[in-house]
Structure 1
Amino acid sequence: MSIVYRTTRCTFSSSRVWTRLLIVLLLTVTNNPLLASREKSGRVERPNIVLILADDLGYGDVGVYGSKHVRTPNIDELAREGVQFASGYVAAAVCSPSRAALITGRYAQRFGYHFNNNGRSGLPASEKTIGERLNEKGYRTGLIGKWHLGWQESQRPNRRGFDYFYGMNSRGIFISPDTKGVETWIPGGYDGTRESSTTRPSNDGLITRYTLSTRDQHPLYKNETPVEDGGYLTETITREALGFIERNKSNPFFLYVAHYAPHMPLQATKKYLDLYSGIELEQQRIYSAMVSALDDSVGAIKAKITEEGLAEKTLIIFLSDNGCAKYTQGACTNSPLSGGKRYQLEGGVRVPYIMHWPATIPKTRFEPMVSSLDIVPTILAASGIEVTSDDRIDGVDLIKFLRGEDKSVPHEALFWRAGPNRAVRFKNWKLWKVNKTTRDRALLTPNDELIMAVANRDSPMGQLTVLYDLSTDPGERINLVDEHPTIVETLEEMLADWDSEMAEPSVDSNRTSAAFVDGSAVELIF
């Protein structure tokens, strides 16, 4: 909001008149109730920003989103004191393109980022990150945890707007699996084997191979120097996040805490495993313990902000990069949603999503659709940084909706694409078009196990089209494609219009998995 003063042409006979006029103008500005309101709302003073990202956290694995057994008191408190988004979406169903959209505010498909590129390419230099935008305006910026947007030197966090980086460029392990009291679980298919592997009661070699290769290929970095840390990764990330806040508490800062938990490999320490001793299923017990460690991290960061007197001027955002993975074989849940990681169904792209800024945003449960694309423009608006049409930002500033300043909805439609697989949600309708595959192929991969194949082309078997009414069927169980041909046609036209603005994949996908949807075998491309 800007204040415009209209003046008339006047002639003044002495400098004293100019002085008096200047005093009046200054008093008018400093006592203006509109400006005072902006100061009170946090829109003038640049707030601190803390963005906490979980990795593969299930929609149904947080207390306020319906979990009955995973304990998340700190995340729940964040939601109760802030905004819990009922329909919070991410822009992709897998890690890397989701993160690319998150830190640019743009559909990653605009710049050809459809898949987990696995080091073959990273975030294009042409794309501006939120770290770069805030750094240019004097913010101290830090990334603690998982980057996953390029391994090459020019693509690393310190070259993409972050003053401080402590983490790994891609995947990682949480702790050495032979550490006393640690339990580890890896699903079959994760390393080309058929059987799942656990360190209790025995280790068949898969875990050793996987963890050693991961540690060697993806070292821990402090800025651009490899370092070693023998602690539990979730606690290490928390320690570094608290240190960043301590060092920068006197300056506006942006802290991006990109946790690895609860991504594979499932690993937890005795401290957290003991909380779930009553759960018999090994992978579910370890996963639940990992989420509790993540929850403790959220609590520690929030407590540090309060302790330093920064709560009134700090916006905290919490969400997951995508839904939890079905290949964990019962460890997690996206209930009541269907599908999971890799799926463009609700369970793959609808996630726990919370904003906390009590001084500015009233606490509420917000029902309309929001997207991770909205995080960049929300941060920029809160920080007083202008967004122009040249930026081609796809998200919107959510604060004006949360404060009731805009009575419309942030989005009527959201879109997803991974190669030939595409989806759109328009109001209550969800359309998904996904490549078909052979039934034998799907039966060979009952737990979404990996198939190494180039697969970002149209399938010779065509596509499955499904249509769901989310207002009555949030679990996407009833395919209405035959009952509503006009709606299908409209949504397909919307998808085509959106797709005409997107770029084709910059690299081929070399990984897929197969699944059954509505009785058909389909190929999940990522």
Structure 2
Amino acid sequence: MKTKIALVLIGLAGFGAFGWVYRIDLLLMVVKYQSQREFEVSAHREIDWPAGPNDSSIPVDARPPNVVLIVADDLGYNDISTFGGGVAGGRVQTPGIDQLAAEGAVFRQAYSGSATCAPSRAMIMTGRYPTSTGLEFTPTPSGMAPMIAKITDSMDRGLPATHFNKEAAEVALPYELQGLPADEVTVAEVLKTKGYQTAHIGKWHLGRSAGSLPHDQGFDDSLLMASGLFLPEDDPNVVNAKLPFDPIDQFLWARMVYAASFNTGDVNRFRPKGYLTDYWTDESIKFIRANRNRPFFLYLAHWATHTPLQATREDYEAVGDIKPHRLRVYAAMVRALDRSVARITETLEAEGLANNTVIIFTSDNGGAGYLGLPELNAPYRGWKLTAFEGGIRAPLFIKWPQRIPQGTAVETPVAHIDLMPTVASAAGASTPEGIEIDGIDLLPLATGQAEDDQTRTLFWHSGYYRIVRHGDWKLQVSERPNKQWLYNLAEDPTEQHNLAQHRPDKVAELVALLDQHKEHGRPPLYPYVMEIPVAVDKTLAEGFVPGDEFIYWPN
């Protein structure tokens, strides 16, 4: 099959008379055909979650707390109405997420671990920077990088070219083997030492082979996103929104199918039951009810609001006549995500578990400019794939009624590396001996036992693109373009005034911190294979002209 596909691709390369657009369409047809042949998906099957005891002699509030960690994907900072915004100018609110924030601690200067998903998720799981784990870049499926480069070349977007690093791709590990090393200790493994029942539901993106899969990394069970469609493209209850201006979107529609697996990774795939966001919520509720009489850890890693944009017809109708169409579908996806959070909290209340359950909500990075929706991260500049505030600012709410006062606001800069030691602390577990944890325990801040610390230093690192926040100062350093961006976030939180030329002393101080961070770190586990130009202040649907600011994101 692969030989036949290779011959087809070679043949298509010679059809110059058809023009780039027609050649790309044919290449995508080949990708779709290959995916349908490769992905064997059986009928839906019910999940039988292992159940705990029928009753417990220990009262709920005397047990170690349950932990529910909910991670959204590519959720824009402005999508959450807690921050004064909401999708479509506030037309779509997020009451479920807002209630979680109001009843717990809001970390007002919270950051994702990276501007793309896999490094952030690795930091959530381990509490360690990429310079500690080596997981610096987001693994991409085989064929994705060259295909995106070809699609980009076929478009007249005005942006500099996307680069596919063929030499690096040839020496890199296969996609399935690119993941979190088995010797890294995850938060799930830490909680297992305290007797927790652990479950992962949803996205993983930290390895597809034995040793790196969730059920090899401390989770008793894993209901895995085995591909990426929320519903079949032709489902009668789905509303799709395709993005013809986005090469990534075009590849995903061609490559992805509707599939899940249970403790089997990429084999024995089956059809989920309904819209993915709702299906995972249904299964999360089943897991909670099955384990209500023993401590549990649930990692619910949603795919929403990542592309491909797909919503249920009910949600699409419920959000009203929002334009353009892609914004309406996106708003409907946010509505489903918010409903998921509300249903989880309602279930904990109904089961009598809410008072002693730690609920954490965050997103893996900021909203993506390739959606063509300009207000996702307002008021911040930048998108996913940039380290401007819009790309790395993330919601972070922690609710634990037994310990955290309602309405707590924390101003200390925090990040995803802090979640693992925080959860370990809540459970009364020790972080692993002999392994350096880069994050801090956030509970003293959330419970008022520690004062805010505005002097904290945080790092981001992706190849030649390096970033540090030290106190109120933030420096971004890139080689493509060869430029530095320096901002005082206390005075300029939306990064409007680059002070790099005016404060060489501060630049030198922060570059020294970056160099020290890199010097003591390990090299990446595998190379980046693609360099993507991203406009800082425009979406991909807008025209890019000379003089517009951009950066390259190596991945």
Normalization by structure 2: what TM-score? 0.77
1:411 Cα shift?
6.3
Q: Secondary structure at the match of 1:361?
A: coil
Structure 2 equivalent of residue 115 of structure 1: 137
SS in 1 for 2:474: strand
Structure 1 position 388, deviation (Å): 6.0
Task: Give the Cα–Cα distance (whole angstroms) in 2 for the partners of residues 421 and 320 of structure 1.
Answer: 21
CA distance in 2, matches of 1:331, 1:228: 34
Secondary structure, counterpart of 1:390 in structure 2: coil
Secondary structure of 1:154's aligned partner: coil
Q: In 2, are the aligned partners of 1:424 and 1:495 still within 8 Å (CA)?
A: yes
- 2:242 is matched with 186
- 2:532 aligned with 1:513, yes or no? yes
1:522 aligns with 2:541: no
Distance 1:464 1:70 in 2: 38
Q: Counterpart of 2:290? A: 247
The answer to whether 1:258 aligns with 2:296 is no
SS of aligned partner of 2:340: helix
Q: Deviations over 1:482-512 (max 9, x none)?
A: 1111111111111111111222222121222
Choose the corresponding residue for 1:467, options 466, 486, 492. 486
Shift of 1:405: 1.8
| Candidates 82, 91, 103, aligned match of 1:81 | 103
Cα 1:375–1:411 change in 2 (3 A) is farther
Task: Tell me how far apart the structure 1 counterparts of residues 433 and 466 of structure 2 sit (CA, whole Å).
Answer: 26
* 2:458 alignment counterpart: 414
CA contact (8 A) 1:41 1:359 kept: no
Cα 1:476–1:382 shift into 2, 3 Å? same
Answer with 1 or 2: which has the greater Rg: 1
Tell me: CA distance 1:408–1:269, structure 2 relative to 1, closer, same or farther (3 Å): closer
1:434 aligns with 2:463: no
Give the structure 2 partner of residue 151 of structure 1: 208
Q: Is the 8 A contact 2:412 2:452 kept in 1?
A: no
CA distance in 2, matches of 1:41, 1:426: 41
Paired positions, count: 445
Q: Structure 1: which 5+ runs fail to align?
A: 1-38, 197-205, 438-462
Name the SS for the 2:376 alignment partner: coil
In structure 2, C-alpha distance between the alignment counterparts of 1:83 and 1:489, rounded to whole Å: 35
The CA distance in 1 between the partners of 2:488 and 2:84, in whole Å, is 21
CA contact (8 A) 1:89 1:351 kept: yes
For residues 551 and 320 of structure 2, the distance between their equivalents in structure 1, rounded to whole angstroms, comes to 37
Residue 222 of structure 2 is aligned to residue 222 of structure 1:
no
Residue aligning to 1:390: 434
Alpha-carbon contact 2:319-2:331 (below 8 Å) kept = yes
**Following TM superposition, by how much is the alpha carbon of 1:210 offset from its aligned partner in structure 2, in angstroms?**
4.2
Task: For residue 383 of structure 1, report the CA deviation from its aligned partner.
Answer: 0.8
2:355 corresponds to = 312
Aligned amino acid, residue 502 of structure 1:
G
Equivalent position of 2:128 in the other structure: 106
* Residue matched to 2:500: 481
* Conservation of the 8 A alpha-carbon contact between 2:130 and 2:461: no
- Identity among equivalent positions (%) equals 37
C-alpha distance in 1 between matches for 2:454 and 2:187: 20
State yes or no: 1:378 paired with 2:422.
yes
Match of 1:404 among 433, 448, 462: 448
Once the two structures are superposed, residues 424-476 of structure 1 have per-residue CA deviations (whole angstroms, 9 ceiling, x without a partner) of 11111110012325xxxxxxxxxxxxxxxxxxxxxxxxx21010111121111
Distance 1:108 1:294, change over 3 A: same
How does 1:162-241 map onto structure 2 within 5 Å? 162-169=219-226, 171-188=227-244, 190-191=246-247, 210-211=252-253, 213-215=255-257, 219-224=259-264, 225-241=268-284
Structure 2's unaligned 5+ residue stretches are: 1-57, 141-174, 537-546
**CA separation of 1:430/1:389 partners in 2, compared to 1, >3 Å: closer, same or farther?**
farther
1:41-120 paired onto structure 2 within 5 Å: 45-67=63-85, 68-118=90-140, 119=175, 120=177
Code of the residue aligned with 1:61 in structure 2: it is D
The 1:139–1:473 alpha-carbon spacing in structure 2 relative to 1, beyond 3 Å, is same
The code of the aligned residue for 1:374 comes to D
Output aligned runs, 1:335-354, within 5 Å. Answer: 335-354=378-397
The amino acid of 1:73's aligned partner reads P
AA paired with 1:328? L
Q: Once the 2 structures are TM-superposed, how far is the Cα of residue 63 of structure 1 from its aligned partner?
A: 0.5
Q: For the residues of structure 1 that align with 2:441 and 2:349, how far apart are their CA atoms?
A: 25
Whether the aligned pair in 2 keeps the contact of 1:435 and 1:522 (CA below 8 Å) is no
Q: Which amino acid in the other structure matches residue 523 of structure 1?
A: Y
Distance in 1 between residues matched to 2:186 and 2:94, nearest whole Å: 30
Residues 1:268 and 1:41: Cα distance change in structure 2 (over 3 Å): closer
Shift of 1:331: 6.7
The alignment's TM-score, normalised by the length of structure 1, stands at 0.81
Native 8 Å contact 2:185 2:432 kept in 1? no
Seen in structure 2, the aligned counterparts of structure 1 residues 319 and 521 have a Cα distance that, compared at 3 Å, is closer
What is the match of residue 303 of structure 1?
346
In the aligned structure 1, how far is the partner of 2:552 from the partner of 2:374? 23
Distance in 2 (CA, whole Å) between partners of 1:512 and 1:323 is 19
User: Residues 214 and 145 (structure 1 numbering): CA distance in 2 closer, same or farther, change over 3 Å?
Assistant: same
SS of residue paired to 2:77: coil
* Cα distance between partner residues in 2 of 1:265 and 1:331: 18
Q: Find the aligned partners of 1:213 and 1:522 in 2 and give their Cα distance.
A: 27
Query: Alignment partner of 2:398: what SS?
Result: strand
3-state SS in 1 of match to 2:294: coil
2 CA distance for matches of 1:341 and 1:408?
28
In structure 2, what residue type is equivalent to 1:513?
I
